Structure 1
Amino acid sequence: MERNTRHPEAILLYDFLQNTADAVIGLDRAGKICFWNAAAESFFGLSFDQVAGKKCHTIVGGAGMDGDCLCSPVCPIIAKLLHHEIVGNYDLLLRGENDTPVVVNVGTYLTPKSIQKKVEATVFLTFRPIDSYRLIKRLAAESRYHAPRCRNNRFNLTSRETEILELASKGLTTRAIARNLSISEITVRNHFKNIYSKLGVHSRLEAVNRAISHHLF
């Protein structure tokens, strides 16, 4: 949409976000890009004209720190925001120049309800690169957090597999687990296949019972 056809409140919001140091992209309810500031052009190496109207996942294409693909046609992050669920900042692994891995911290924001009808973008995402020092500190902190769980893990379950089992024990469905962890339902099912193999069981109920009996969470 051309600037002169935008609502004044949209222009004010976009002008504010245009001048931030962080890369900021705006998405409509369908997950299509409708805002792309100067920092985003520099970070992704693409102009707004190149990305306008395209689905976010086709441009960002990021993965979680555990390698799980987070960017997909059905984005769990956008789904949560549109359902007015709070989504905390999260780390995303992207591919930079020459296919070099780049870790960024992503912030998520929902356009205020009072102006949603006046602004094309319903959701805004900010991307801030994480430097090596901060990344090492963060990974070290996560290692300390998961250490006690690993010592009690007799079945060599990964932290993500244990996390999924714990959510399953609370009655969450595959879809709910996927939304809770911001991963795809296919990824959740693949994790359960690995869990069944490691625990020597054939169903989700058996897996949860075994996990509880062995104090895995």
Structure 2
Amino acid sequence: MPSSGAGRDPRGHMPGEEGVWLFIGGDLILFTLLFAVFLHMRAEQLTVFTEGRAQLNQTWGLINTLLMLTSSWCVATAIQAARRHQVQVTMRCFGGALACGLGFWTVKCFEYSEKLSAGLTITTNDFFMLYFTYTGIHLIHVTIGMGVLTALIFYARSGNFDAAKLRNLESGASFWHLVDLLWIVLFALLYLVGAP
């Protein structure tokens, strides 16, 4: 069995394909602009945004944050297992991340249902327009990420974790970590940020 350090570049290692990092960089730029719009609008309508935040269910947001953090841990563990050529552990860890993604989806559906039942929609005010838009865009990312995780489970099944295969696994893992990072910022902005 090859050692975990076999084939590593002594100058450092950038996980995944360069093209994936271009996509991730573009996505980060887009979300940075979205976050800046949120902060600008919040500064203009502080009362509306403070009252809107108070109507969010922080428990749902915290549960989803824990699910995303756990899923990222599973993905990181899967990559480490793949580097050690542990096929079953790799698949189980990717499966755990997928289950967390499904849990996130389920919690978000409960949360949306709760808001809609209370008469809070995308047209209620600017806070809820941004809440539904931003969390909806993020939910699309989660859905795509779950597709990626499913593909990684099947891709890892055959083992044979050579450098090219590890790079592909790392590419998918890097995208999932992006999804996690975006949620952490959204959770802070939407659920936690109080008066300046």
TM-score (norm 2): 0.24
Indicate the structure (1 or 2) with the bigger Cα radius of gyration. 1
Higher relative contact order (CA 8 A, sep 6+): 2
| Higher percent of residues as strand | 1
TM-score (norm 1): 0.22
| Higher percent of residues as helix | 2
